Amino acid sequence: MRRLNRKKTLNLMKELDAFPKVPESYVEASVSGGTVSLIAFTTIAFLTIMEFTVYRDTWMKYEYEVDKDFTSKLRINIDITVAMRCQYVGADVLDLAETMVASADGLIYESVVFDLSPQQKEWQRMLQLIQSRLQEEHSLQDVIFKSAFKSASAALPPREDNSLQSPDACRIHGHLYVNKVAGNFHITVGKAIPHPRGHAHLAALVSHDSYNFSHRIDHLSFGELIPGIINPLDGTEKIASDHNQMFQYFITVVPTKLHTYKISAETHQFSVTERERVINHAAGSHGVSGIFMKYDISSLMVTVTEEHMPFWQFLVRLCGIIGGIFSTTGILHSFGRFVAEVIFCRFRLGSYRSTSVTLPDGHTSNHLPLITDNSTH
């Protein structure tokens, strides 16, 4: 009884077979079929390799939402070198809430030589080259996001030569925590002092001839410091053409959450426009000599996530490639054989066309003449 049920089950499974087997005696191999098969296998192999390359790659997904965090502090990372002595310049932040953040809260003043060493000049040249490419090809920013990790560093390398030149510049570097509102970070003549109506700088004791706000921005970023990320102003160098010159940078800061396979951090991107002019009160160009970075905070937050193709999607795409190529090449091969058979069939029929024979009574006969023994002599 069990054997009978098993036999019925096997017969039922055979009836459900969607892939019937054709006996080999009914299969006819041809040169054209072999050629098409070779082309199909080659195409499948090539597309499979390309698909595997796509599967291994990742891409960045951008999502936008309203930034609801308005109570936290904003960190500003600064590394700027000004071509003036440290005792002549002062840096601080003043925001729209009239809150003053002095440079003593986190910035370090270091006397250095303004001119770079050969190795540092090469670093600056490469950084400026990357900046120019980033402005032309925005997709390179995704590559920078992917390559960012905490153990890498894109900071200015230390001097490799022991310069005997006396320090003629001041490097201001470190970080400050400010309110998450629009503000103004500036470097100007004299140290900052508190003032009932804001703040002031002691610039009266500094001679105008010593003003020189030529500067180099080695690094400027907002939020968590992520080595490897290149910001828009990194590597910027400005040379002042006059003692009384103002450099202005208008910055829009965008809160950004970065999630990659190497790092997860909350940082900020920013865009910047710049302007510079000579202060000349007689010509109507008013202002204060110095470097002014006016920043504003965007109300939108960007979430950047690195994504990868799932393995099941890779298998589905791979099956689609293999099945599609087999089906397409089979259809093309069948259509080609059909066209070839039609053409050769007409050619054969044309070679056996009947000839007209004139009979003695004047009629014509389209039948082929019979071949007899007398006609062969």
Q: What is the pLDDT of residues 253-301, one digit of tens each?
A: 999 888 888 778 888 889 899 999 988 878 878 888 899 999 999 989 9
pLDDT at 356 over 60: no
Q: What is the reported pLDDT for 351?
A: 57
Residue appearing with tokens 């965007």: 298
Which residues have a Cβ under 8 Å from the Cβ of 255 and sit 6 or more positions away?
Answer: 67, 69, 223, 266, 268, 297, 298, 300, 301, 302
User: How confident is the model over 199-204, as a mean pLDDT?
Assistant: 72
Mean residue pLDDT across the chain = 80
CA–CA separation, 373 and 370 (whole Å): 10
Q: What is the reported pLDDT for 55?
A: 87
Q: What is the reported pLDDT for 49?
A: 92
The answer to whether 173 and 42 are in contact (CB under 8 A) is no
pLDDT at 35 over 80: yes
Would you call 63 helix, strand, or coil by DSSP? strand
Confidence of residue 37 (pLDDT cuts 50, 70, 90): confident
Q: What is the reported pLDDT for 154?
A: 62
Confidence of residue 142 (pLDDT cuts 50, 70, 90): low
For CA atoms 275, 192, 74, 77, give the dihedral sign.
positive
Nearest to 67 by CA among 192, 207, 253: 253
Q: What percent of the chain has pLDDT over 70?
A: 78
User: How confident is the model over 39-67, as a mean pLDDT?
Assistant: 88
Phi, psi of 64 (to 5 degrees): -125, 140
C-alpha distances out from residue 82 to 58, 114, 155, 235, 340, Å = 41, 8, 17, 13, 82
Q: What percent of the chain has pLDDT over 90?
A: 20
C-alpha distances out from residue 176 to 76, 103, 156, 172, Å = 5, 8, 20, 12
pLDDT at 376 over 50: no
